[in-house]
Structure 1
Amino acid sequence: MDEMEIDSAPGGTKRKADDDIWVPRPRQRIRALDPDVVNKIAAGEIIVAPVHALKELIENAVDAGSTSLEILVKDGGLKLLQITDNGGGIEKEDLEILCVRHTTSKISTFEDLSSIATYGFRGEALASISHIAHLTVTTKTKEAALAWRAHYLDGKLAPAKPGQSAEPKAVAGRQGTQITVEDLFFNVPTRRRAFRSYADEFNKIIDMAGRYAVHCQGVGFTCKKAGEASNSLSVQAQATVIDRIRYVYGGMVANELIELTVSDDRWGFSANGYVTNANYGVKKSNFLLFINHRCVESSTMKKAIEQTYTSFLPKGGHPFIYLSLEIDPARVDVNVHPTKREVHFLNEEEVIQALCKKIESELAAVDESRTFLTQSLLPGAKPVEPLDEDDSDAAPKFTTPALRKVRRNSNDLVRTDKSQGKITAMFSPAGPADKADSPARAMEDEPFAVPEPIEYTTIDRDQVNCRLRSIKELRQEARDEINEELTEMIASHTFVGVVDEKRRLAAIQAGVKLYLIDYGHMCFEYFYQLGLTDFANFGVINFSPPLDLRELLQLAVEKEHESVGITPEDGFNYNFFVKTVANKLIERREMLQEYFSLEITPTGEVVSIPLLVKGYTPSIAKLPRFLLRLGPYVNWNDEKQCFKTFLTELATFYVPEALPTTPTGEIEEEDLEESYLDDEQVQELNSDEILEEVRKRRQHVRWAVEHVFFPAFRSRLIGTTKLMQNAVLEVASLKGLYKVFERC
């Protein structure tokens, strides 16, 4: 067939199969980009995040001979990033070209790069910042009688307010320079939206400031959030290197440091610093590397040094490393990365090998003095059996109270091996024998409890150390309520089984006694305490797509008032309640995301809710009521009461719901109201499907109660007097049963 018909237009025109269908594009001419576009592109390469702007400003301040740096941050540096130093200052005549690209006092010719000894040299930091933020510089030299303040935008002097002169203005000020960066990325909305958490950006700023605070001897550092009285970082100018490490990274690191000094003229380098010995090991390493006093990264060096530590640290342990390398400037290429994060130098492999060899020898020299932390025997743990007396080759035997064989009475002997079968293994669902195809009969061949199919994604987020006084007071109040008897009982208990999901009862064994536990009350107290201990460090349950906040609140309001017989026909304004609560949550969205991982967009979409514990998902049908109660039941006017009431509502939301216990037949309407099914599911499903959903949820809750909640109670729950009175009931004592048998 030589021809084929193809409809290429509404009229159905014909063309041959070998017709050329390629349509040539018009030729594009090469043209020069607008300078403003070029500058914004360069700014995006150099200032990627607020921490990069801070790094450039710290380096400029240290280059100016400063001995004191004060850093002020607001909204993670996006709203405000200010650094004040007491250095040499800037001449008034230089302010006009201060933010012009490639204006610098560090070099004059290209050959100067081979001997560069300062932090900066390209003259792009302030220029880049001025293109993506509002920049204000206040400076005074030692000889000047007054300080001068200048505002910059797009690399040029700009007026402070419209209509005013752009020339620098004389103001009162002290010697040094104060640089204020406001509204970072205000004209790059895509970049600004990429920052999801102010807390994460502030932690990065603290980390960078801490690195330079450790390295820059003779320079004092302070850093704090705007509006807070206390400093998040404070290092005195006269502090030693070890003291600086102690101030920034803690005493556990500072107490285990080994001083390191190594040099080799053949490779043209010398290094000094401090590394931790074999007594210190954490899950994530801290690697501070400075090459010619510039903070850089080297994944090759980091991996090599960590590999050296594998022979001295247990599996999963990582060291703290601070190294300052002095390398011949002629051997270093500093101009390989826009943010100067990386440098290249000659004989890199040989230098790394020499460092690792020195670290290995230092660790081997102190390995004999390694110490270990010990703890007493945990409740319920089996003591180590003593050696036999007739073992002549054995080491001398020491008899301690924990190792002595004590004869125990029969009424003290109980089975505590939880690996054996549970009493629940003998349970079988009761149902009519003639309904062979009923869901109840199908349950007999299915597992009694199964985990939820939950997938988790690990995110790289630093731990937040909470310093809020209100949270510390709430934690102390929780500790003051401790009931030592209940706490010890929970820490040593053996789980027996779930007794009743509707009344939320479970049985545990502690010592020679059997108890019924209201795990609903117990879970509430656990989640409340967990909210205090993990404050601002919650995981995240993401919704894809996000949920509409107002729709959720509307559902909750309607259900709440239908339960008491109130309808819109009675004149009740649902929309007023929905609007009031939604506006309150949207107004507080930044605080909710930073402290509670509850992310709500400005348009009213629920993106995520907090994840408190792995292995269990709260009933999403309870989410509308949870969000609604955040309005009237949270005290938004007092910080301490706000956190307390919010964590109370969050704990209530996470408590496992009461589930119907009837495994077959009809499910009563009141049971459905208490179950995890929402109204739409109840309307869409028939009775058998509803029964199947409730059965699946019951299996997941049973599994979570046994494998998630009660193991967590053992390790983290503080028993309170209120719990002892309301959630614990002794049902049997082995000694009491023996007395009954003796009388029989």
Structure 2
Amino acid sequence: MEVDSPDNQGSKRPVDDVEVSEPPKPKRIKALDPNVVNKIAAGEIIVAPMHALKELIENAVDAGSTSLEVLVKDGGLKLLQITDNGHGIDREDLPILCERFTTSKLKEFEDLSSIGTYGFRGEALASISHIAHLTVTTKTAGSSCAWRAHYGEGKLVPAKPGQNAAPKATAGRGGTQITVEDLFYNVPSRRRAFRSSSEEYAKILDVVGRYAVHCSGVAFSCRKHGDSGVSISTPSAANTVDRIRQIHGSAVANELVEFESSDEKLGFRASGLTTNANYHVKKTTILLFINHRAVESTTVKRAIEQTYATFLPKGGHPFIYLDLEIEAHRVDVNVHPTKREVNFLNEDEIIEMVCSEIRTKLSQVDSSRTFLTQSLLPGVQTIETIQHDQTAKSPAGKAATTPKTPATAKRPYENNLIRTDSKVRKITSMLAPSPSQPHPDPNTPSRNPPSILDDGLQYETTDRQPLKIALTSIKALRSAVRSSMHNTLTEMFATHTYVGLVDERRRLAAIQSGVKLYLVDYGLACNEFFYQVGLTDFGNFGVIRLDPPPKLIDLLNIAAETEQQEYTNNNGEGAEDVFSRAPEVVSQSLIERREMLNEYFSIQISEDGDLLTIPLLLKGYTPSLAKLPRFLLRLGPYVDWSGEEECFRTFLRELAAFYTPEQLPVPPSESVGIDEEPKESNEEVEDPFIITRRTQMVRMLEYTVFPALRTRLVATSRMLRGVVEVADLKGLYRVFERC
């Protein structure tokens, strides 16, 4: 180690002995690669599939569309397609369609202060093309064909390697179809951030639902790829309340209150619908539109929740749809990349005026009620809303009402045109009974003259008062039916038109719902329907009188002999003793319970064992009495008499099986060749009873059963296996378009 000598202490070292290090040089600033810039911008605008769809919906509405169809696969990550019928895109504009900042809605920066459209910056399609495979098919009114173009990185690309990138002529309908495939395929970190496709699809449905409620005059539909049914479907002629009912349910739509507020000094006009104090949920649902753009505002949401705090119980929240129109120069729409938020002048004053109007409307709920009444005129299906105000009375003492003028329906497109009318009454429903059926005595007066619907049966009206059923078991069974309800299937049956009977042996009928044709297993549908009728009309069934009344034991013996014969043919002998004792045991059990059977199920049995009546579930429909012995026999082993709920459930299931239409054999062929003569010998002759029953079944299905299904059936998920889609008019149009 070198030590300085005393002579050198305190002296400076020469400059040459000091090691001088060079200062670090600053890094040079370079321009980012354009691809990196575009992907960064795309990541700011397209955060998730729902943001891409929001941009596409806004562009479609700006294009004057009246119908939007959305198709989604894997939550929009695999496929996101939107088809509209707007004015389309010119062939000359396709090369620059997906370049950044190309738009037809903005020319100068000052135009931002008066923007009145959804999109304006020209970034949506450009951003999507940098993170997905984009295909555009468009046709204008003046074009003889449609044009299809593929985009990548903001530029035209060939559909396949080696092909020309220029747009190709193709068949297509007027409007634009934009297909986004493999979203975020080149941004794996963003793609891995999505947890599940179902969660992303739920967000997509939320976006579609918001615009479907707001955009009046525009039809919306959204479905998953591969599904036959749609998740959202709103017709173009539907008003705002009906759109809310379609998307958010009748529980919300039935409790809506309309409000309006405006101020010329503040330059705004607000209108909307909000729920009254009878409705509340755990989370606030707010559909906020400012200048027709769906936005979010924590300030507005908090102010509305504070307004409802004095009307709803603790933890309760409302539903509100708010359409806020503010003068364009007072709004700054360019403050968020996804345009999710906007700023506007006098925000606090405007929100306070809106909340004050809502508070006033809610305070009037106690003095004003809304009742829904349905007209009973045949063929009329309008629902009127009658306002009954206790404070505003007419001089005659009646509530003052103002009839609303119905909106003029727009003419649908050909592929959406429903070509049947369920209100049309066929002439066969007005004919007299068939000559083969017994006619009543003309000298005997009748309250209800027979028609073709009741086969000459005579109906009598009794003065029996209906029972009010408040049994917990029945309420639980009804709740179980509602919990298993399938919304799409129920809507299909509620709007269907009966086409005709297809196969009596397999119990198939054809119905039309909208523009789709279905085959329905009416045996399965009737089984569920009559079970539900048993629950809704429990204790208040009609009766079918048997004259003369048969002996209960005789009917049970017939059923036991049939069961024994079937058992012997399938399993051999060995159960004769069981079948011989079963009629006596079941007969004794039913006679002991005859008071309960009469009170709840309208089955009257005399002390001597005579069967006097059986229940009537549906007027105009007669069950097959050939099934009566088997029904009575099954009331023994197949009904759980030990518990109340299980007893009612199993009994009503057996009753529904008895009322379900039976399978009829295939009729013998009556066709004869041109050069052949009819065979007179060994010709198969069908039983006259089966001929009569087949004719009766055709009439009852068309005029009684399916009309009842339309009005009363709550279709459950188990009925899905009994419905098959046969044809779709839209699909047929697409096939012919390709030809």
TM-score (norm 2): 0.48
Q: Return the index of the structure with the highest Cα Rg.
A: 2
TM-score (norm 1): 0.48
